[in-house]
């Protein structure tokens, strides 16, 4: 097979595309897809050269892969651990340690999929290991595909069939199955599909298919090849800037970078001589392209964390790219190249594989030590929280915040752990009972997560008020009038509901259940919007009118202010001055009473905003209490500390009993 110079330059372009789109545009670039095609092309080309591989050939390939990848990965992971300790608040260390562990054993893509990571999430709490998903996915194919090729070759030899024909059948079958699965899973769960090895397999198979047949393809006339090559390069570089494809990857849209990469290789093989890919600087950059890709991401995450903003200027972005290039070059010269070419290892594939294991052991040890580093601080945080839990109404504080930012994310209603909060896309009603199981009065807690956050206070009130609490809540949904689908669709867009159809169906089922229960009270949220836009939506009021008209009382709470950024992150960064995380009241709440003029028999409107805001500011912390666990959800501790206020409002509607 003829050496195709443009492929080296193409790798450099792919890495630059990824970095540029990450740093300045926060968009999918298609560069990683190009990497996948090229990696599979080289893998299959190496086996085509062998002809009929044996077990030792597969072992040699494994050894070469380990020598090329593991030293680089180990250095990047260790450096990322060190950078995280320096630049990222401790509240993220435990979470990021899992990402580091997954990266060290090359399953980071599956960990990202399992934890529901959105690849395009922009912020300060993104894992500095996230870029390792692509290497993890490649390593999985570097492990599995050679085995399949070896098995197929052995089968072909026994049956007297051409090895290439057997490989072609294998590649086509895998390609078709993967692409069909890709379309299905992208439609059902795009964030999962983005990291799913099976959904990405067709990209590898297309690269492998090209390597398997490239020497049989007819040569394109040079002028036509040049037109094809430059056209494919232009599409690869620009398509993501023109078409917002991030939320559709790796579906049909991923064909654009994949086919562009294939077209470039075909054109180059026909002598296109694509100058932007064959000049010496670009080809030299191609040698460090993937290590550059691995280095740029943690540097970007550290810069964002250090500056406290996800936005990156032109000069800082260029600095990140320059430093990533220097680190990639140093890694190549000091670690990757010496290990890859060391004769004793080249001659002993098993020794290469063993070396990979040995190299990763201290990495795993470092990650474990890092994860364990803040165990004492977490234990102290939980001890302080336990002291608060014993008497939340009379807690006077004992130093530090409750909950501590280290554990604030977990300070949520019990319903989450019980599986009682419905998911975004499922419309079935999940009903859980809390408080006094046979209580004299029934309270239905209905709506989304902002309704559910009041469950801890209700549970504290239940014994004194003899309350049976029925929780029916759903993520990214609200309690609304679902009778008019068009109206619900408009509300879904206005409220930013992720699945309005599911929310509408769920509301219909909840209303039917409420009518069957005939509760003494429904507790829900009354307002929506921020600042001057805060109001009581008509689609709430029409629902309440129907309920109160049937004798069911409603207590509607003014929604808590939505802060512009993650409060826990901010407080962790400003531990000495948490007031720096406060926000202007005028930006978060309407100056007018949203319930002004709202009156109907059986409805009570309660405003607890004074617990968080004064006349000018809304507080991130209240004395020793941390008010929020993210941008807009209250901590369970804060809610419990003010359960008496909620209790007085309930008594005003249904009495004490």
Residue pLDDT, tens place only, 343-356 = 888 888 899 999 88
Q: Is the pLDDT of residue 612 over 80?
A: yes
pLDDT in tens, 585-600: 999 999 988 988 788 8
Which runs of consecutive H residues, i.e. helices, occur in 270-335? 275-278, 280-287, 289-307, 314-331
State the total domains in the chain: 2
State the pTM of this model: 0.83
Strand, helix or coil at 535? Answer: strand
Same domain, 49 and 191: yes
| Residue 73 within any structural domain of the chain | yes
* Final residue belonging to a domain, choices 351, 372, 393: 372
Task: Report, as an integer, the average pLDDT of 177-183.
Answer: 96
Cα four-point dihedral sign 361, 364, 366, 369: negative
- Does the pLDDT at position 215 exceed 60? yes
Are residues 62 and 183 located together in one domain of the fold?
yes
Tell me what pLDDT residue 621 has.
94
According to DSSP, residue 334 is labeled I
The predicted structure's pLDDT at residue 124: 60
pLDDT tens digit sequence for 532-554: 999 999 999 999 999 999 999 99
What is the three-class DSSP state of 441? strand
486 burial type by CB count under 10 A (0-12 exposed, 13-18 middle, 19+ buried): exposed
Q: What percent of the chain has pLDDT over 70?
A: 98
Average pLDDT score, the chain: 91
Tell me: pLDDT of 458 over 70: yes
Residue 1 pLDDT exceeds 60:
no
Last residue of a domain, one of 372, 394, 429: 372
Write the burial class of residue 273 (CB in 10 Å: 0-12 exposed, 13-18 middle, 19+ buried): middle
Residue 210 lies in a domain: yes
| Shared-domain flag, residues 291 and 417 | no
Q: Are residues 191 and 91 in the same domain?
A: yes
Mean pLDDT on 217-223: 89
Q: Is the pLDDT of residue 74 over 90?
A: yes
**Inside any domain, residue 399:** no
Is the pLDDT assigned to residue 224 strictly greater than 70? Answer: yes
pLDDT class of 425 with cuts at 50, 70, 90: confident
Given a cut of 70, is residue 123 above it in pLDDT? no
pLDDT score at 169: 95
pLDDT at 248: 79
pLDDT of residue 444: 97
The reported pLDDT for the residue numbered 369 is 87
Query: Is the confidence at residue 278, as pLDDT, over 70?
Result: yes
Looking at the structure, tell me whether residues 349 and 457 fall in a common domain: no
**Residue 300: pLDDT band with limits 50, 70, 90:** very high
Residues 529, 633, single domain; the answer is: yes
Residue 388 located in a structural domain: no
Same domain, 174 and 284: yes
In a domain, 382, yes or no: no
20-30 confidence digits (pLDDT tens): 999 998 888 88
Q: Are residues 410 and 365 in the same domain?
A: no
- Considering the domain architecture, whether residues 457 and 325 belong to the same structural domain is answered as no
Per-residue pLDDT at 365 exceeds 60 = yes
pLDDT at 219 over 90: no
Please give the pLDDT value at position 121. Answer: 56
Domain membership flag for residue 292: yes
Q: Which band of pLDDT confidence, cut at 50, 70 and 90, is reported for residue 44?
A: very high
Residue 165 lies in a domain: yes
Q: ∠233-237-238 over CA atoms, to 5°? A: 115
Query: Has residue 119 got a pLDDT over 60?
Result: no
- At 79 the pLDDT is 96
Q: Are 276 and 258 in contact (CB under 8 A)?
A: no
As a dihedral over the C-alpha atoms of residue 434, residue 435, residue 440, residue 441, rounded to 10 degrees, the angle is -70
User: In the structure, what pLDDT confidence band is assigned to residue 463 with cuts at 50, 70 and 90?
Assistant: very high
**Which band of pLDDT confidence, cut at 50, 70 and 90, is reported for residue 657?**
low
The yes-or-no verdict on residue 3 having pLDDT over 80 is no
**Residue 440 is encoded by which pair of tokens?**
């004299």
Based on the fold, state whether residues 431 and 316 are members of the same structural domain: no
- Give me the mean pLDDT over the 187-201 stretch: 92
The domain boundary residue, chosen from 324, 352, 372: 372
Return the pLDDT at 478: 93
We report the CATH number of the domain holding residue 520 as 3.40.50
Rounded to an integer, the average pLDDT of 562-581 is 92
The answer to whether position 386 is within a domain reads no
pLDDT, position 29:
87
The whole domain housing 103 covers: 5-217+224-372
Q: How far apart are the two ends of the chain, measured CA to CA in Å?
A: 87
Read off the DSSP letter of residue 528.
B
367 and 410 part of one domain? no
Residues 352 and 430 in one domain: no
For the chain, percent of residues with pLDDT exceeding 90: 72
Q: Which of 63-67, 156-160, 206-210, 385-389 has the lowest mean pLDDT?
A: 156-160
């Amino acid at each position: 097979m003829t050496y195709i110079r443009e492929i080296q330059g193409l790798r450099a372009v792919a890495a630059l595309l990824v970095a540029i789109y990450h740093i300045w545009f926060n968009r999918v670039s298609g560069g990683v897809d190009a990497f996948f095609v090229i990696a599979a092309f080289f893998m299959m080309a190496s086996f085509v050269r062998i002809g009929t591989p044996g077990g030792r050939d597969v072992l040699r390939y494994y050894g070469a892969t380990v020598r090329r990848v593991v030293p680089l990965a180990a250095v990047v992971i260790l450096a990322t651990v060190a950078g995280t300790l320096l630049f990222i608040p401790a509240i993220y260390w435990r979470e990021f340690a899992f990402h580091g562990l997954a990266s060290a054993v090359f399953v980071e893509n599956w960990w990202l999929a399992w934890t529901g990571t959105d690849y395009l999430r922009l912020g300060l709490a993104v894992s500095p290991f996230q870029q390792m998903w692509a290497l993890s996915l490649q390593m999985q194919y570097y492990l599995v595909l050679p085995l399949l090729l070896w098995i197929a070759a052995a089968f072909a030899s026994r049956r007297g069939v051409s090895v290439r024909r057997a490989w072609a059948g294998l590649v086509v079958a895998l390609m078709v199955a993967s692409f069909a699965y890709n379309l299905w899973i992208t439609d059902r769960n795009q964030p999962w599909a983005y990291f799913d090895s099976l959904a990405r397999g067709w990209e590898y198979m297309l690269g492998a298919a090209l390597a398997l047949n490239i020497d049989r393809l007819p040569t394109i006339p040079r002028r036509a090849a040049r037109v094809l090559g430059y056209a494919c390069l232009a599409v690869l570089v620009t398509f993501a800037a023109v078409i917002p494809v991030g939320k559709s990857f790796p579906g049909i849209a991923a064909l654009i970078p994949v086919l562009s990469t294939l077209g470039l290789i075909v054109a180059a093989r026909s002598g296109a001589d694509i100058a932007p890919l064959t000049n010496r600087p670009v080809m030299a950059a191609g040698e460090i392209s993937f290590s550059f890709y691995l280095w740029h991401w943690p540097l970007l995450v550290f810069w964002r964390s250090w500056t406290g903003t996800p936005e990156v200027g032109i000069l800082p972005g260029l600095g990140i790219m320059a430093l990533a290039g220097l680190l990639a070059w140093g890694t190549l010269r000091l670690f990757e190249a010496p290990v890859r070419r060391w004769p004793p290892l080249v001659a002993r594939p098993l020794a290469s594989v063993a070396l990979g294991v040995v190299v990763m052991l201290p990495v795993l040890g470092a990650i474990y030590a890092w994860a364990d580093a803040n165990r004492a601080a977490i234990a102290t945080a939980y001890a302080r929280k336990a002291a608060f839990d014993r008497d939340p109404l009379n807690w006077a504080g004992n130093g530090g915040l409750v909950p501590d930012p280290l554990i604030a994310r977990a300070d949520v209603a019990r319903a989450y752990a019980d599986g009682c909060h419905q998911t975004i896309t499922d419309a079935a009603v999940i009903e859980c009972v809390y408080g006094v199981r046979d209580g004299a009065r029934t309270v239905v807690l209905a709506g989304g997560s902002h309704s559910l956050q009041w469950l801890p206070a209700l549970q504290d009130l239940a014994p004194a008020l003899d309350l049976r609490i029925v929780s029916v809540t759903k993520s990214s949904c609200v309690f609304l009038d679902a009778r008019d689908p068009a109206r619900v669709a408009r509300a879904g867009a206005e409220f930013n509901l992720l699945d309005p159809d599911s929310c509408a169906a769920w509301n219909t089922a909840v209303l039917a259940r409420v009518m069957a229960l005939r509760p003494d009270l429904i507790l829900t949220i009354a307002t929506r919007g921020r600042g001057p836009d805060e109001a009581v939506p008509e689609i709430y009021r029409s629902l309440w009118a129907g309920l109160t008209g049937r004798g069911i009382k409603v207590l509607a709470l003014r929604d808590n202010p939505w802060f512009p950024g993650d409060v826990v992150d901010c407080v962790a960064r400003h531990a000495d001055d948490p007031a720096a995380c406060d926000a202007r009241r005028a930006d978060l709440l309407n100056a007018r009473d949203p319930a002004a003029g709202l009156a109907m028999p059986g409805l009570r409107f309660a405003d607890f905003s004074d617990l968080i805001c004064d006349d000018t500011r809304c507080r991130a912390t209240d004395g020793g209490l941390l008010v929020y666990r993210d941008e807009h959800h209250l901590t369970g501790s804060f809610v419990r500390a003010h359960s008496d206020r909620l209790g007085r409002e309930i008594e005003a509607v249904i009495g004490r009993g």
